[in-house]
Amino acid sequence: MDFPSFLNATPSGLFGPLGLIIIAGVVGVLMVVGTIIMILKRPEDPLTKLKRSAQTPDLDKEPQQRLRQHERNEQLQRFASFLEPQDDVQLSKKQLQLRQAGYQSKDAVRIFHFAQFALAILGLLGAFVYLIVLDGGEGFSSNKKMIYFIVPLAIGYYLPTYWVTRRIETRKEEITSGFPDSLDMMLVCVEAGQSIDQSIVRVARELHASYPALAQEFDIVAYEMKAGKEKNTVLRDMAERCGVQDVSSFVTVMIQSATFGTSIAEALRVYASEMRDKRVMRAEEAANKLPTKMTLATMMLTVPPLLIILVGPSAHGITQLGNLTGN
């Protein structure tokens, strides 16, 4: 047997018909892991260090005085070209999606893509351990083994996307549920003589226990206003982060009220009343949908027992009569 045939026969004898593919995949994974380790251990470029020191001269002297807004993960910074979309439109879209899910960190996009990569590798390694090391794929065909490799890889890759999507839906539901109560509290604060900035701070403090997602959004608004950002821009950013129609309408009402010089308290009173009515309508809509949703369950749980009770004795009597007639 020549040497190429020997190389082909040895992996096939160990791992089956997909022996060469499996070995190539394992080698590829090991090379990727080794490259990551080498990049992590690579010393920092002196020019980059000098540039960072010039931009932040007091960084090494008083690290406790650094603002948290400027802190970023230095390990992920090395993989910025791999863990962030290079297109600004896609990057902005992913940042907005993660902010709507409640992840406000600057490294949220990098962590998201790193989680996709890491979970995909873990799924692939788990399939390799089960099929090859533990010999769980004994007797499987080549196509079935390929499916067992691809499915964990796909699940690990798309699991962060599913998690973020569920977080966005849950957060929007929480904001929608708590927004009428926040408007009522804000109206009370404004009518008591507080400014809109002070009322937002107070509402955020009161909502932390019941609606933490909405309280977080109001906290961000309060901090940005304290930092000197324009109020209209802050409110529009809040509407964009929340992604809820009620919040967008509230922002429009506040901006129009400030533009035309009308009373903010009166605008809040009218809009809060509309939000309460809208919440009642949503509750009535859910109540009207309930009988339709229960129809199938009622039929499955009620009709079969009823048929057994009504038809069962007759069927048993007919069976007994047939046995007597046959005898």
Residues 260-276 have pLDDT tens digits of: 888 888 888 988 888 88
Q: What is the mean pLDDT of the chain?
A: 78
Single-letter code of the amino acid located at 210: S
Single-letter code of the amino acid located at 190: V
Q: Give the span between the Cα atoms of 100 and 167, in whole angstroms.
A: 8
- Asked whether the predicted pLDDT for residue 38 surpasses 50, the reply is yes
98: which 2 tokens?
């993660």
More reliable by pLDDT, 30 or 241: 241
- Asked whether the predicted pLDDT for residue 155 surpasses 70, the reply is yes
Confidence of residue 69 (pLDDT cuts 50, 70, 90): very low
Across the range 197-210, mean pLDDT stands at: 89
Confidence of residue 60 (pLDDT cuts 50, 70, 90): very low
Confidence of residue 159 (pLDDT cuts 50, 70, 90): very high
Q: What is the pLDDT of residue 57?
A: 46
**What is the percentage of the chain residues whose pLDDT exceeds 70?**
73
Residue 141: its H or E element = none
Q: What is the pLDDT of residue 165?
A: 92
Confidence of residue 54 (pLDDT cuts 50, 70, 90): low
Confidence of residue 19 (pLDDT cuts 50, 70, 90): low
Q: What is the pLDDT of residue 163?
A: 93
pTM (whole model) above 0.75: no
Residues listed for the chain: 327
Q: Give the span between the Cα atoms of 319 and 309, in whole angstroms.
A: 16
Lowest mean pLDDT among 10-14, 54-58, 63-67: 63-67
118: which 2 tokens?
């890491």
Lowest mean pLDDT among 26-30, 55-59, 76-80, 280-284: 55-59
Give the Cα-Cα-Cα angle 255, 260, 265 (nearest 5 degrees). 70
The most confident of the ranges 23-32, 58-67, 232-241 is 232-241
115 CB contacts (<8 Å, ≥6 apart)?
160
22: which 2 tokens?
């499996």
Three-state DSSP state, 126: helix
